[in-house]
Structure 1
Amino acid sequence: MSAPLPSTIAAPVEHEVVVTRSRFITVVAPVADVADADRVIAEVRKRHWDARHHCTAMVTGVLGDQARSSDDGEPGGTAGVPMLEVLRRRGLTDLVAVVTRYFGGVKLGAGGLVRAYSTSVSEALDRATVVPRRSLTRATVAVPHAEAGRIDNVLREWVRHHDAVLGDPAYGAVAAFELWVPAAEREHLRADLAAVSAGAVDPVFGEERIVDVRSD
């Protein structure tokens, strides 16, 4: 069985902690690519233009194989790398973390900075909704309109038990349902649809894609 793909998060989260009078304001946000991450960083810098530091870490790519971090003026290795390590430990990709620090007048030391920046990102991620990703195959199920309601109910129940995802239906000359199915479940889908339609319904399989598996 192949290793699970890195997950991402559903929506941006902002969280603040105070450590020895210094404010650490963290934004974690899902991004499409490095340019999107840079846009998020620029927005945070603009919003908190008067802060001393805007330290960053990002992981991008389907496999999480692209990473970048910045200490933004903090002592080397005390901010960006610890932030990046948190993202790595959580098994996440396609997201950026920005920690804005308002200096409180008391130096924290290297160890204190590492703890503050890593804790800030960890606590922000604790408040995020994680979205798993899977490699799934597209299946199209076309049925006459008279059968659409019944097959819709069958498919909604089926995806719940087979780690699949139901897409949006299309209604034209026939009703076409879209599913994203694990490779191991393809023949199960074919057999189950044949069983409920006396062999009249047969799925057509298409491309494979990395799909966000959301619970909502």
Structure 2
Amino acid sequence: MPTFTLAHPVSAELEIRKSRFIAHALPVADREAAMAELRRLRDEHPSATHVCWALLAGGQSGMSDDGEPSGTAGRPILEVLRHHDLDGVLAAVVRYYGGVKLGAGGLVRAYTDAIAVALQEAVRVERIAQAHLMVELGYPDETRVRHWIEQQQFTLAQSQYAMTVRLTIQLPASAVEAARSALRDLTQGRAGFPEHF
């Protein structure tokens, strides 16, 4: 089943019974990048009462209620991300307390609604794991292989020239084996695949 990330960050602001809820959803590479974004949000909102968040990033997921009653903020935000089949996304809601208590149910609704409203404007893009494949070949095969890389819409990440040509191709991880096979056919078995870059 495909997962998606966001094409670019989105945000929205809701006011619920005098409290301000400012929701942000942004694409992140990993947990480290997410933590850097959270520090930036806290710096931007030094007087905020809470900065609650949820992260889906492969095996590096997490969430925090940041002082709200347990289960009323981080988990609802995480559920919205899951509902949208998102990965590689940090969702954070900055809350400025307005003096009226919302109760547990009210908090769950507020955090869910804030992030859901932000995601209404989101452009989702399929998240495809990328890999690098190095191919080693003779100079006579280079033009043909470069043309093949263009046709496949892969990215030529690097080229090195010595006794042989080494091309490093960036491509979807799921396409590596088929690419090896196609490159062997294209070069009549002359292409090699050194493991170490």
AA at the equivalent of 1:142: L
The structural deviation recorded for 1:194 is: 4.9
RMSD: 3.4
Deviations 1:180-203, CA, capped at 9 Å, x for gaps: 4656762x4355445544x16424
Amino-acid identity (%): 29
Paired residue for 2:56? Answer: 59
The structural deviation recorded for 1:205 is: 6.3
Q: Is the aligned partner of 1:170 residue 2:166?
A: no
CA pair 23-181 structure 1, distance change in 2 beyond 3 A = closer
Paired residue for 1:69? Answer: 64
Q: Distance in 2 between matches of 1:59 and 1:102?
A: 25
Q: Mark the runs of 5 or more structure 1 residues left unpaired by the alignment.
A: 208-216
Alignment counterpart, residue 137 of structure 2, candidates 139, 142, 145: 142
The structural deviation recorded for 1:57 is: 1.7
Deviations 1:29-48, CA, capped at 9 Å, x for gaps: 41433x44333222211211
Paired residue for 1:17? Answer: 13
How does 1:111-126 map onto structure 2 within 5 Å?
Answer: 111-126=105-120
Alignment counterpart, residue 47 of structure 1, candidates 44, 48, 62: 44
CA pair 135-63 structure 1, distance change in 2 beyond 3 A = farther
CA pair 94-189 structure 1, distance change in 2 beyond 3 A = closer
AA at the equivalent of 2:107: L
CA pair 147-133 structure 1, distance change in 2 beyond 3 A = same
Q: Is the 8 A contact 1:58 1:69 kept in 2?
A: no
Q: Mark the runs of 5 or more structure 2 residues left unpaired by the alignment.
A: none
Under a length normalisation based on structure 2, what TM-score does the superposition of the two structures give? 0.72
**Count of residue pairs brought into register by the alignment:** 191
Q: Distance in 1 between matches of 2:56 and 2:179?
A: 35
How does 1:178-189 map onto structure 2 within 5 Å?
Answer: 178-179=168-169, 180=171, 182=173, 186=177, 188-189=178-179
Q: Distance in 1 between matches of 2:123 and 2:19?
A: 23
Deviations 1:67-119, CA, capped at 9 Å, x for gaps: 2322x333332211101222333344444322102234555443333232123
Paired residue for 1:102? Answer: 96
Paired residue for 1:213? Answer: none
Q: Is the 8 A contact 2:87 2:127 kept in 1?
A: no
